[in-house]
Amino acid sequence: MSSSNMKTITVIGSGLIGRSWAMVFISGGYSVRIYDNQSGQAANAITEIKKQLGELEEAHMLRGELTATQQLALLSSYDDLAQALEGAFFVQECVFEKLEVKQSVFQDIERLVGKDVILSSSTSCLVPSDVFSKVQNRSRCIVSHPVNPPYYVKLVELVPHPETAGPVMDSTHTLMTKVGQAPVCLKKEIDGFALNRVQAAIIAESWRLVQDGIISVKDIDLVMSEGLGMRYAFIGPMETMHLNAPEGLEDYMQRYGVGIQRVLNSFGPVPDFFGKEAKGIINEMSELIPSDQQHLTERKERRDRLLMSLAKLKKDN
């Protein structure tokens, strides 16, 4: 089992995220071996990816330097874990979001790979110290949390286990950059990582404003889509502040810091997302976009079309 050439990556689990990772890695010229424990599933994934690569090439949205045919040739599928892991220097796990499942998958993987192989998990909600608790050598373990769909939304949160070795973090960062993703490093693990914690803060205040009768569901969404979100697709909250005062961030805080603290002190408690009052918000949303498959699919397709254009806009600027 050689892991010396650094050109082969194994993807474990070939659902939505496993397929996306496979597409991202082959776009960067890596060979990808896909494994799924449901027999035939990894092979189905390749059929599905083939179709998507063709569509992307047609739309001039294919990532990387290689043609769709060249990228497809880098893919192979396995129903046997040991075979799937042969020659890999990096393993990206994408199985069900269940702690016991991930723990046992990593135990199995560790037995089959060389000591320098990096073990990476796609988990969105579990912390590394739980996911990797059954691995012997945890210094080689890391969470690489993607955002759906990773092909257009490039952020990857790299979250270390308390024992993760510095070079493992660095190599993962280098790999993600090479394949065109946008990796960020958390210095320590924390529940929700960075993205979901910021998202939770936005959800909480939006929910409270609607629940308290301050604004409608429709209008709070416009506050983001026509206001904050316009900038946030290109610059984050820190740069936004830095650019919004004549002399930068310190000046911004001199002018607005106390006001922001006053507003923060008026924030309410964690909202109730389940009770009778929540029902009102849910109904208001469903009146705007009915929750049946047809309406939801229409809006999802619109979202993905716009994401694709936005990704193109960002790439060209």
Ligand X SMILES: *[C@@H]1O[C@H](CO)[C@@H](O)[C@H](O)[C@H]1NC(C)=O
Residue 262's Cβ-side half-sphere holds a number of Cα atoms within 13 Å equal to: 5
Long-range contacts of 285-294, Cβ-Cβ distance < 8 Å, separation of 24 or more: 285/217, 288/217, 288/218
- Give the DSSP letter string of 32-55: EEEE-SSTTHHHHHHHHHHHHHHH
Q: Binding of ligand X at residue 38 (CB under 6 A)?
A: yes
Compose the 156-175 pattern: x for residues touching ligand X by CB under 6 A, - for all others: ---------x--x-------
44 lies in the site for ligand X, by CB under 6 A: no
DSSP string, 119-166: EEE--SSS-HHHHTTT-S-GGGEEEEEE-SSTTT--EEEEEE-TT--H
Quick check: 105 binds ligand NAD (CB under 6 A)? yes
Using rule CB under 6 A, residue 97 touches ligand NAD = yes
Q: Which does 124 bind (CB under 5 to 8 A by kind): ligand X, ligand NAD, none?
A: ligand NAD
Q: Which of 116, 226, 239, 304 binds ligand X (CB under 6 A)?
A: 116
By CB under 6 A, the count of residues binding ligand X is 11
Q: Which is nearer to ligand X, 115 or 187 (CB)?
A: 115
Distance CA 193, CA 267 (A): 22
Say which entry of ligand NAD, ligand X, none residue 15 contacts (CB below 5 to 8 A, set by partner kind): ligand NAD
Is 216 a residue that touches ligand X (CB under 6 A)? Answer: no
- Which region among 86-94, 136-144, 194-202, 209-217 touches ligand X (by CB under 6 A)? 136-144
Residue 303 vs residues 167, 180, 299, 313: alpha-carbon distances, Å: 37, 22, 6, 15
List, in order, residues 6 or more apart from 244 with CB less than 8 Å away: 252
Q: Which of residues 27-86 bind ligand NAD (CB under 6 A)?
A: 36-38, 41
**Site residues (CB under 6 A) for ligand NAD?**
12-18, 36-38, 41, 94-97, 101, 105, 122-124, 145-146, 148
